[in-house]
Amino acid sequence: MQRLAVVLMCMAAYVMVAHAQGGSTLDIDKLQAAQKSSVSQLLSSEQLPVDNVIDPKIYRVGPGDVIAYQMVSMDFSEKLASVTPENALLLDRYGMIDVQGLTLAQVRDSILALVHRRVPGVDCFVTLRRPRLVYVTLRGNVPYPGTYAVPASMRVSTLLNVARQPWLLRKDAASSELGRNDRSVQENGRLQELTRATGTSLSPFASRNIIVRHRDGVSNVDLPKAMLPGYAALDPHVREGDEVIVPYDNASAPSISISGAVADPVTIAYKSGDRASLLLAAAGGPTSDADLTRVVVVDPSGRGKRTISVDSNMHIVGEDPVLEPGSTIVVEQAIREVVAGGQGVVNVFGEVRNPGSMVIAPGVTKLTDVLSRCGGITPDASMSLAYVVRPEQGTFGSRDQQADIYRRFQYSDLTLEDTVRYRLDMQYRLPYVSSDFRKAYADSASPDNIVLYSGDIIVIPRVPDRVYVYGQVNQPGYVNFVPMKTMEWYIERAGGYAEGAKPGRARVIKGKTKVWVDDGKAAVEAGDEVYVPRAPDVSTATQIQTYAVIAGVTSALAALIATFYAILRK
């Protein structure tokens, strides 16, 4: 009986305390029902994308963040609290916490301290339930500057990747003819990204020198180094009002590189104190044919090589050497015995009925055989623009490539103008296989019906419906393609020659090879471009010199004629 009386007294005291704290009778069932409803609504609502696991030591809490906390007591339900616009967090029955400038880890510690002051010995768990949306401004050397609304859990690297996707900005493209054309161009562009540099990726210098201006300070972003353990703060989460500034490239800045049997050979800008582990982390891991017992650091002067020890994931084992400006790490390929025969794989993209990967006999299977196995080409295929890419063997850093170009000049007898053109051709050359798909389809015995090798990429674009005319024309822009029309016809459709045009220098730029053609009578093909240059500007001094030369020659001729006339009269 005494025990029963004690239990009843405790229950009565609990009800009185609850009544005093709540101001009314506490309905546990209604409270739990409301709590379950809010949690259910939170979990069933639209989810925000997450690029990586949030680091509580880096993530700054702000207005709109939803914090969840749970106490191991009589009420085990999860409770939610949203950060107010004043950066305050209201906890049911515990009070308010100012979270201004605090990280998630610091907010967690503050909540635990407050709970333990009120209820000593009670376990409490705190987590971020939903990150807030923030406005972030992106400017500098980026293709699409502007202001973006993104989750605060997003890191700077993900923001830059998202901002380089142009199709995310064109939600209304499907509603117009122009939208359909743009979509076709985007599809072709995505195919070309498999084989060409897009020009929208961050430069080695920019990736290590991004500036983020916060309301309360500035952060320096170093994306390659942020991949190393312990340096996640160099790729911070964005906050409200942040301004991300991507610098323009600095060609004179020193660099370091890694090449060889790695997933992503890269060149990055050099910073004092950089170590070998930085390049190994930036390379994305070894390829299947890497010999990890032969990983060497090459000094920029070429005086020698140092072998470094790595594990199967290319993590440093032992000494992590400091690099010098211009240093290169080379991961050697394993020496394998070449096996005759075998099979390979090619990839087919574009206007075929069944695009995808095809198994071939390297050096035996021909182009038309693969296209037939893909179901043939579609009626929209452009055979004149189709091409085969054969990835070049070996990987070279930018410094190796420049050295190779200069080495070829050693015994060259090219003129200065030819040397400049050669450098451009070498720098921007594409690993195409020489083949005319039209001739290959017309005659399977033609040399253009090339044999394929493993790794080849076959791309067959859609027939373009327009020709781009630009330069010194009155109405530059796209002109609808009409078969068998000449360059002059397209120039007339673009408004004719503008003032200052040089008609004799007008050229057709072929859509596939980008070769300039000087033939005004030949038919322009779909995908070609027409360019009309302007006459070169001549300075006043040059014009005066020209007139002086003409006057001198004229005077000399007049004197010569007068002399002959005088002689004849005698």
Of 105, 87, 126, 107, the C-alpha closest to 239 is: 87
Within a 10 A sphere around the Cβ of 273, how many other Cβ atoms?
9
pLDDT of residue 313: 86
Q: How many other CB atoms sit within 10 Å of the CB of residue 212?
A: 19
pTM: 0.48
Q: Is pLDDT larger for residue 341 or for residue 488?
A: 488
- Summary mean pLDDT of the chain: 78
Half-sphere exposure (Cβ direction) of 302: Cα atoms closer than 13 Å:
3
Q: Where are the alpha helices (DSSP H) in 437-507?
A: 437-442, 487-493
Give the integer Cα–Cα distance in Å for 570 and 562.
13
Give the DSSP H or E segment for 562.
helix 540-569
Q: What is the rounded CA–CA span in Å between residue 34 and residue 30?
A: 6
Q: How many CB atoms lie within 10 A of CB 193?
A: 11
Cα distance between residue 423 and residue 408, in whole Å: 10
pLDDT in tens, 421-479: 777 777 777 788 989 998 998 888 899 999 999 889 899 988 888 899 999 999 999 99
Cβ contact 139:245 at 8 Å: yes
Which residues, 6+ apart, have CB-to-CB distance to 319 below 8 Å? 308, 309
Whether the CB-CB separation of 500 and 524 falls below 8 Å is answered with no
What angle in degrees, to the nearest 10, is found between the helix axes of 416-427 and 398-408? 150
- Distance set, CA 95 to CA 17, 117, 195 (Å): 17, 12, 59
User: Alpha-carbon distance 222 to 237, whole Å?
Assistant: 13
- Give the distance, in angstroms, between the CA of residue 314 and the centroid of all CA atoms in the same chain: 24
* 114-128, 222-236, 548-562: least confident range: 548-562
For residues 342-356, give the mean pLDDT.
Answer: 84
User: What element of type H or E holds 15?
Assistant: helix 2-22
Structure tokens at 534: 């302007």
Nearest C-alpha neighbor of 368 from the set 455, 435, 462, 434: 435
Cα separation, 26 vs 17, in Å, equals: 10
User: Number of C-alpha atoms within 13 angstroms, CB side, residue 133?
Assistant: 7
> Left, alpha or beta for 241 (phi > 0: left; psi -120 to 50: alpha)?
left
Summarised one tens digit per residue, pLDDT across range 220-279 is 999 888 888 888 888 999 998 899 999 988 878 888 888 888 888 888 889 888 988 999
